[in-house]
Structure 1
Amino acid sequence: MIITSSIFDIIPILKKGGVIAYPTEAVWGLGCDPFNRESVYRILALKNRPVHKGLILISGEAEHLTPWKDQLSPEQYQRLVSDTETPTSWVVPDTLIAPEWVRGDHASVAIRMIQHEQTRELCSHFGHVLVSTSANTAGHPPALTKDAVSQYFGDKVDAIFDAPLGHNNQPSQVKDLLCDTIYRN
């Protein structure tokens, strides 16, 4: 495992199917290329999380979310790609874009425009969405420091993206983009 603040050290790890830990707006997350089945299943195993629950995707660029644009009205798409006062992961219809190992048992996927500056830049340089799930095992609190990530996972992650944690008090809320149902507040 490497610990680095260089995006350019992290990108090749992601492109080779690696699993990384990185800071978000409120907690540390685990991430990988969502289109790499093996990498996603590594994260699920690390977290002891069943695949049927699904995972959140994050992006740093609106253009990364254009595959979902055809399923949304222009207003809904604008809401999806806009920053919100409270970081929000929007649940959007999806049966053909995100792989089943990301969607789980759902005909939708949760997507967030990441508001954490360095992680947004990481996503932008990666070139498409990343998996985002809290860095913890089932039943334990999310990691709030890179040291906590190391304690949880040790060398089972390929890299830690060493940047400061955001200033939010809780993880993103999860809301349905079409009907505003709140799944996590």
Structure 2
Amino acid sequence: MRFALPLLLKAVDHVKKGGIVAYPTESVWGLGCDPMNQQALENLLALKQRDWRKGLILISGQAAHFDDLLNAEQTKGGARLTAEARTKIASTWPGPTTWLIPLPKTTAYSPLVYGQHSAIAARVTTHPLVVELTRYLDSPIISTSANRAGQPALKGRLQVLKCFGDQVYCLPGDTLGFDRPSAIFDALTGRQLR
């Protein structure tokens, strides 16, 4: 999959300035922003009309972006990931698997990222566009389906442009053609939630 570097760099700049980007993922289009920018998070949730308590997903092309979560010594709930759990997570990344990882006792992430939960959702993707976007940003971004709350997830760039127009910077590209969204697992119990 090829993409134009100038368009990618424009998206990087847009995210750094607090903007929202739309991008293809494995199965659907996603909306994202800087997970450390409170105003960007508020704007994204308002755009989607999404309840903040549901939380959002972090996505990156680099597993190292989640080392602080995976190796947290203390968590808000007191439960730490075992070496076995970290190995299990690593065996599924990169890929279409999202893990709910215990929230560190001290975190720079806003509650708008993890919502009412004591875990934070994270995924390492293989989508080359998102891999490069997060590499240039040197951080994960938010990944939430490109749609309004309660509506079906959008599967094409033209649908995204029709729905959101100039409210987002829409990268070119296609999904990887998967027919379902990523599976979600609880990192502490290994139980599949979706």
If the length of structure 2 is used for normalisation, what is the TM-score? Answer: 0.86
The total of aligned residue pairs comes to 180
Matches within 5 A, 1:139-154: 139-154=150-165
Q: C-alpha distance in 2, partners of 1:46/1:9?
A: 21
Q: How does 1:122-161 map to 2 (within 5 A)?
A: 122-157=133-168, 159-161=169-171
Q: Max radius of gyration: which structure?
A: 2
| Alpha-carbon distance in structure 1 between the residues aligned to 2:102 and 2:130 | 25
1:111 to 89, 99, 122: 122
Structure 2 SS opposite 1:183: coil
SS of 2:99 mapped into structure 1: strand
Opposite residue 65 of structure 2, the aligned amino acid is: H
Q: Deviations over 1:85-118 (max 9, x none)?
A: 9611100000432321101011111100012122
Cα deviation, residue 80, structure 1: 3.0
How far the C-alpha of 1:164 sits from its partner, in A, is: 1.8
1:73 aligned residue (62, 66, 82):
82
Structure 1: gaps spanning 5 or more residues? none
- Provide the C-alpha distance between the structure 2 equivalents of 1:126 and 1:164, rounded to a whole number of angstroms: 21
Letter in 1 for 2:47: L
* Aligned partner of residue 193 in structure 2, secondary structure: strand
| Cα distance in structure 1, aligned partners of 2:91 and 2:59 | 13
Note closer, same or farther for the CA distance 1:78–1:129 as it changes in structure 2 (3 Å cut): farther
Alpha-carbon separation, structure 2, partners of 1:33 and 1:44:
13
Query: Which has the larger displacement, 135-144 or 116-125?
Result: 116-125
Distance 1:8 1:85, change over 3 A: closer
Mean Cα deviation higher: 64-73 or 121-130 = 64-73
Structure 2 unaligned regions, length at least 5 = 73-80
Deviation track 1:44-86 (CA, whole Å, cap 9, x = no partner) reads: 1111101011001011112211111323333323433444596
Q: Which amino acid letter does the alignment assign opposite residue 178 of structure 1?
A: L
Change (3 A) 1:86 1:12: closer
**For residue 153 of structure 1, what is the amino acid of its counterpart?**
F
Which residue number in structure 2 is paired with residue 26 of structure 1? 27
- Match of residue 77 from structure 2: none
Two-structure CA RMSD over aligned residues (Å): 1.8
